Every structure is written in structure tokens, then in C-alpha cells.
Amino acid sequence: MSQLHKKFTDAQVKELFARYSKNEIPRRYVQEVLGIKERRFFALVKRYRKNPDTFSIGYQRREPTRQISEQTEKAILKELAIEKKIIEDKENPVRRYNYSYIKDLLVEHNQSVSLSTIIDRAKTYGFYLKRTKQATHDREVLTHYAGELIQHDASLHLWAPAAGEKWSLITSLDDHSRFLLYAELIRRESSWAHIFALQSVFLKYGFPFSYYVDSHSIFRFVQGRDSIWRDHHKLTDEVDPQWKQVLQDCGVKVIYALSPQAKGKIERPYQWLQDRLVRTCVRDNTTDIRRARTFLRQEVGRYNFRQVHSTTLEVPYFRLQKALREKRSLFRQFQIKPPLQSVKDIFCLRTERTVDAYRRVSINTKQLPVNKANPDDRLTIRFYPMTGGVTELRFWRDDQLLDIQRLKTADLAGMQF
């Protein structure tokens, strides 16, 4: 049985039951957030409705401590043995035991056991590694408002060892609430993948005040490092990468970490997700990235809606909702600023071309006639990849949309943006 008093306050649970009673949120949603089953849900709702003012989820032991069953004992040792095998495999990016993960697995199979019991068995049977002392980082909330600072990054790991290939995990996290606004596994990191992440966040939550990123070439042009691809006379930040151009169109500030150490001081959920996602994929023998994405969504849901954060001591979802309710938010409503006409004009890849004497432009090996274009016109072409292997091309001359065409995405392979 889930120990709600360790994860939620009375006020948080009351708020959910109050909203449920007003038909503002469905029962299944409340159950998912609290991590309880239908029978316990209705028992708690009945207690709440009987006397909302005195309702409490405070835990009171009603019977003496009992020994765990033989079945549960065997389950603990089985999971610990699997953990040991995962850790000893050098191909897996996991180097320590995660007893909380084992506890959650047992709960999912209706085997309730305390974390201290699992740790005790681990020490008794040799499934225990002494933690090495690590340099401490400042893990503090740097902001007072939701949307004030979005931490954005990607992490390349062997998330599913059986797949035999590394995938990148792209995440966007609100610094104030620690709520994961976006998380997705992709095969290859690219400018478009990060632009799509911006689109997902902005359309759902609105424009934030700023983004915090490292100096990866997708986010920042650095003279010397990137000059081989650019004008050698350009200095750092005098060229705007595709990702940064999108933020400029949206009026969102970009803040760069000055060093890897500075970036490391900003806590990210990668370690938490890596510990759990890798373990789940190993147990499942996952080889397909689509299945790994399913497990990722489950872990993100646990992190956002059920996990008490070690820094804020609050569940990220409740902390975010509290900030929004108290008007402590710097998210701005998403709007398309004229003359742009569509989200495809904002969240896109861009390049420029000059119209030739036959009113055409060259894209890779293709010569494309452009409606309403004149010879020598300088056009901005905005590329929006779509599902089905098709990319939409939108041809702009200054503030005027001249033409819209579509090409196979494969025909654009190798283009430098």
C-alpha cells in the first residue's frame, strides 16, 4: 500500500479530492497522481467528504511489525541478483544499486516492503556497494517564478543495452518547480530535434522568460571551434544557429553555461532517469526505441506527479500548479507575431537563396520554380519537417509569403543550414 503521508501533504491531497468532487478532474487522473488503486481511492474520498476540515493522511500503525512473507523475501533477493548482474556488465551505464527502484517494482506486484528491509537484505547477502565520496554541487532553486528559467540539454547514453546503440535523451525542465516540460529519446541529436522540443513546450505552456543551455554547436556559434563551417571573420555569437533563431523569433532569452562545471551545478534529472530507465530496459531486454520511449513516459510521469523532489521537498506538479495559482509565472501566452502566419514559420529550419533568371531557386540538386518571385530576389526559405517523410518549404520575400511547396525529406539530406 502506498504511504501517501511520505509523498504528499494533507493540503495537496485535499486539493485533488476537492477538484474531483467538483468534476474538474477525473478519478483515474487522481489515482495516477497519488499512485493508489480504485478501492483505496473511494475509501479516502469517503473520509474526505465526511469531514474535509479534519481530513488527514497521517500514518498510524494499527498492528505490530510483522515479518515479511517467504514469497516477498525471495522476490527481494531475485531483484537484487538482477541488479548485481546489471552493475557487473561493463556495457551498462549503471554503477550502483537502486533500492528504491526495487521497492517500486515490488509494490507494482502487490508486495509491500520497506526500503530499510531491502537495504538490510542487500547488506546481509552481499548486494551492497559502498558509495564513493563525490564532489558536492549546489542544488538549489535559482528562480522565484515558473517559466523564469528552462534548463535544456541532451544526454547521449546506452539507455537500452540490448539495442547495441546509444540514443540521446532531450529534456526541458522548469527550474522553479523541477517539472519536466519535455522528455524524448531520439536516435540522433540534431537542430530540428531541439527545435521540435521548443515547439512542444511553447505550444503547451507558452513562452518562458529564458533558456539555460551549454555551448554545444546546436545552441551557440563559438569562433575557432565552429569557424570551419562559417565565415572565418565571424566572432563568437555573431552567427545565430537555427535553434537560437527560433528563440529570437519568440522573444525568449538564451543564457549559456560558461563551463561544464557551471552546468553541472544546475541539477538535472538525468541521473534519476538513467538509473530507472536503463534498469527497466535491461529487465525487458528492450531493443526498440519505441518501447524504450514507453518506459520513459512512465518514469517521467512518476517523476513529475508522484516523486517528492529532494531539493524542493515537493512533487514537481504540485509546485508548478502552486506557482501558477499564485500568479508566480513568467510564461507568456503563445502567439504568432505578424507577418508570420503559422507555427511552421517559427519552429523551422531556415536558409536563404537568390532567385535566378528563370525564377527558380536551387535546393540540393533540385531547381524549384517559385510563384510570384522575381529574378535576383533574395528569399528566406523555411523548412518544416512533417510526418510521412515530407518537408514543407515556405518561401518568404521580406514580410511576404510567396509560395508553399513540399519535398521528400530524403531529397534534402546533406543540406547545411
Instruction: Tell me if 145 sits within 8 A of 328, measured CB to CB.
Output: yes
User: What is this structure's pTM?
Assistant: 0.76
In angstroms, what CA-CA distances link 34 with 4, 42, 333, 387? 7, 13, 30, 36
Question: Does position 24 have pLDDT exceeding 90, yes or no?
Answer: no
pLDDT tens profile 354-402 = 999 999 999 988 999 999 999 999 999 999 999 999 999 999 999 999 9
Question: Does position 265 have pLDDT exceeding 70, yes or no?
Answer: no
Sign of torsion, CA 332 333 337 343? positive
In angstroms, what CA-CA distances link 191 with 74, 188, 210, 220, 243? 48, 10, 18, 11, 6
pLDDT tens profile 107-137 = 888 888 888 899 998 888 888 887 665 554 4
The arrangement of strands across the sheet holding 210-213 comes to 180-186, 167-174, 150-157, 210-213, 253-256
Which helix (H) or strand (E) element contains residue 156?
Answer: strand 150-157
Instruction: Tell me if 166 sits within 8 A of 291, measured CB to CB.
Output: no
SS3 249: helix
Question: Does position 139 have pLDDT exceeding 60, yes or no?
Answer: no
Question: Does position 235 have pLDDT exceeding 70, yes or no?
Answer: no
More confident call, 89 vs 243: 243
SS3 296: helix
pLDDT tens profile 317-353 = 999 999 999 999 999 999 999 999 999 999 999 999 9
SS3 410: helix
Cβ-based neighbours of 396, under 8 Å, separated by 6 or more: 345, 379, 380, 381, 382, 402
Question: Does position 1 have pLDDT exceeding 50, yes or no?
Answer: no
More confident call, 319 vs 65: 319
Number of Cα atoms under 13 Å in the Cβ half of residue 307:
21
Tell me the C-alpha distance between 185 and 155, whole Å.
9
